[in-house]
Structure 1
Amino acid sequence: MRLHQMPFAALPIDGMETFQQDETFHQNVSTSVGNEGKTRVDGETRGLVIGKKSQPKVTVTPTTYLGDLFRIRIVPSCQILYYCQQRPPIPNQPTMGIVEDATEDLFFSRYECETLAQSYNVYADKRLQGRKATVTEYQTLASQVQILHSSHHATSNPMQPLDSYLVLGDGSLTLSQLISPGWRMPNLSDVFACCCEVNFSVNKVTDDLLSLATGFLCAGARSVVSTQWSVEDLASALLAIFYYNFRQAGMSRSQALQQGQIKLRNLTGEEFARNYQGEIGKSLQQQHDQAMTRRNDAKVKGDVTECQKWQDLADKIQVQQQRLQSLAQEKQPFSHPYYWAGFVSQGLA
């Protein structure tokens, strides 16, 4: 394993953590896929993974992690860091743009993005929702805003890193496109790519880190928060909200991510139920109602395939609604590093 694959924030300083994980869980965390035809884990992770996702069986004893003691920031290379430092300053009141659940199957993305839209006063024309998040609209939005929050599917291709891609409403945005001259975004300050494997790379051609996150830095972003593996949907939504709350409180990017990870890790089931479960539950219910409406419309039209699609989606939403109840009963439902340690901060501090 190369150093850029290490989840430094989760390196234990004292105490210990033991857990059992089966083969499919190991595949979820450590295996990147870049070919078509893999199984998508519906509504649970923000990328394409092999096999069916299973949660780790974990026993946690008090642990101090490296991320508790240090704010961690990484860079793909000194040259890219130099480019970030040479870019002109951004206005004091940056504008945010949001790209949200382009494939309409990430159940917690809507809650996440609605919360951010309210916090940052993001208007409808700066918020690409569902299938409206096309490649062309994505490029337009990225050229208009200073903060870009992307919450949807993505996957890396370790054998052909330039073919790693973000999944959008009408296709894919590949790394090769992102680093091409047509995708220069000189006014882009911050990117939070709340997707799977955006910073996952196993490049045997060069020692440089070649990932989608690197692509954003090359295209013009000063800083990118991204992921090292297939991250879990609900945990990602909460961590993104925590991160931006700390940023609005005046923290630097690396400090906001550090404190967001600590907050998510220490979040108790009781706190989750009191502060988040209600609003998240409302969001899920709205999505369930919309799925049933679309199912009924398809049924009237006699479109069996479309009808089954929306019924399946409604069934999966019900599973997530039940999961909210179980999470509220757990002591610390997101304490395992799988939920929080895959997020990294790159570029400027």
Structure 2
Amino acid sequence: MVDWANGYLRAYSTKKYHYEKHLTTRLHSLAQILLIDKIIQHIPPECNKLILIPHRYLHLFPLHALPITSEQGEDKAKILMDRFPAGVSYAPSCQLLQLTQTRQRPEDFTHLFAVQNPSADLDYTPIEVDVIKRYFNPPPDTEILVENDATKAAIDSKPLNNYHCLHFSCHGYFNYQEPRKSALILANAHKPASAEPNPERYLRVSENKEFDLEKCLTIDDVFDLQLEQCRLVTLSACETGLIDYTNISDEYIGLPSGFLVAGSPAVVSSLWMVNDLSTALLMIKFYQNLREQIPLAVALNQAQLWLRDSTQSHLLAWSRQLPLDNSLMKKIQQALDWFNPHERPFQNPYYWAAFCVIGS
């Protein structure tokens, strides 16, 4: 198991194309190592919902997408999500799961606060947020901070405790060396790398770039939030679901845990650097499912399977029904035109398996 995990993390860190291309094969190997088929045999057939509390570095992997043996006579490969139609979700620990399950929240899901593309380099984020905001009440119940307006100071000034849903469509960064310095990257946080940066304030991510942590939303900032009305936090960003897997205690440090402690009963987050286009499509479908009163974990799982199985022609037809202006609609269609009509552009789990529901 350790050798497999080291190979997975090494490929993710150094060979992104190789990681993406061979993700399906890696998940098959992980399923065999974990003896997932034998474990499933011990679960009663009537059990249709699964909550996973992974140990240590198992938090890093999309266990919900592990392949399982199909029933005799079935002609379609199955994954763990198929076995549990009432949803597969996660929790960082039993203690945090119990905490989220005891929270009482209003039934309303009408007030949205969203951060949209603060780094101004995500082409499909405007499409994602422009559609999602229409599923909530208009302003002032909904507020969107767009690009340069999405600063740390602006977020600090907002009454986040009044919103039912927080949606962050931006970059995220996980710091393996110092997990508490992991952050959502906000406007004006990037700066050229200095010769001798202050490690307490600046986080260097490459030879020529670093982040000003005082202009980001760090894990420590998240722990200080008060989200009394919140029902869902969605982190539509890169690496937002990663945790400090070197910690052998029951409490894992990561952005999802921070939002759970701050008051949200559930968080949707990602396990790797996600594709901009596929994420926008997945998020729109996810919120469409929520609008139909589908339970949270099921809404995400169904959206993932939908994205995996959709052909180019199906995605084009679906996108034409979205409430978008012509310029944004054209952007989606131009991206999908690269594929053949019967091709499934996002079949690889790299495009759909990164996201998971954490919490109740």
Aligned equivalent of 2:346: 334
**Given the alignment of the two structures, is residue 13 of structure 1 paired with residue 68 of structure 2, yes or no?**
yes
Aligned residues: 269
Find 1:162's aligned residue among 173, 177, 180.
180
Give the CA deviation at 1:93.
4.4
Aligned residue runs from structure 1 range 245-264, under 5 A: 245-264=288-307
Whole-angstrom CA distance in 2 between matches of 1:113 and 1:283? 15
Whole-angstrom CA distance in 1 between matches of 2:99 and 2:287? 25
Aligned equivalent of 2:223: 179
Using the size of structure 2 for normalisation, the TM-score is 0.69
1:141–1:282 distance in 2 versus 1, CA, 3 Å: farther
Aligned equivalent of 2:80: 66
**Given the alignment of the two structures, is residue 90 of structure 1 paired with residue 106 of structure 2, yes or no?**
yes
Give the CA deviation at 1:278.
8.9
Give the CA deviation at 1:328.
5.1
Q: Which moved more, 1:320-329 or 1:202-211?
A: 320-329
Aligned equivalent of 2:242: 200
Aligned equivalent of 1:111: 127
Find 1:242's aligned residue among 274, 285, 291.
285
Percent identity (aligned): 29
Aligned equivalent of 2:13: none
Aligned equivalent of 2:25: none
Whole-angstrom CA distance in 2 between matches of 1:113 and 1:259? 20
**Given the alignment of the two structures, is residue 132 of structure 1 paired with residue 149 of structure 2, yes or no?**
yes
Give the CA deviation at 1:199.
0.7
Aligned equivalent of 2:357: 345
**Given the alignment of the two structures, is residue 145 of structure 1 paired with residue 159 of structure 2, yes or no?**
no
**Given the alignment of the two structures, is residue 77 of structure 1 paired with residue 93 of structure 2, yes or no?**
yes
1:339–1:122 distance in 2 versus 1, CA, 3 Å: farther
Q: Which stretches of structure 1, 4 residues or longer, exceed 6 Å deviation after superposition? A: 277-281
1:93–1:195 distance in 2 versus 1, CA, 3 Å: closer
1:258-302 Cα offsets, whole Å, 9 max, x none, are: 11111111111111222226977944589xxxxxxxxxxxxxxxx
1:118-174 Cα offsets, whole Å, 9 max, x none, are: 122342761111111111322425222111111111111111100100011133111
Q: Which moved more, 1:268-277 or 1:323-332?
A: 323-332
Three-state SS of the structure 2 residue aligned to 1:168 is coil
Aligned equivalent of 1:102: 118
Using the size of structure 1 for normalisation, the TM-score is 0.71
Three-state SS of the structure 2 residue aligned to 1:81 is helix
Whole-angstrom CA distance in 2 between matches of 1:160 and 1:106? 26
1:234–1:281 distance in 2 versus 1, CA, 3 Å: farther
1:71-113 Cα offsets, whole Å, 9 max, x none, are: 2111111111222123232243441222111111111111111
**Contact persistence 1:224–1:346 (CA under 8 A):** yes
Three-state SS of the structure 2 residue aligned to 1:326 is coil
Three-state SS of the structure 1 residue aligned to 2:356 is strand
1:258–1:278 distance in 2 versus 1, CA, 3 Å: closer
Three-state SS of the structure 1 residue aligned to 2:90 is coil
1:190-241 Cα offsets, whole Å, 9 max, x none, are: 1111111111124313343211111111111111011111111111111111
Find 1:219's aligned residue among 259, 262, 277.
262
RMSD: 2.4
Q: 5+ residue gaps in structure 2?
A: 6-56, 189-214
Aligned equivalent of 2:137: 121
Q: 5+ residue gaps in structure 1?
A: 16-60, 287-316
**Contact persistence 1:110–1:283 (CA under 8 A):** no
Whole-angstrom CA distance in 2 between matches of 1:278 and 1:89? 32
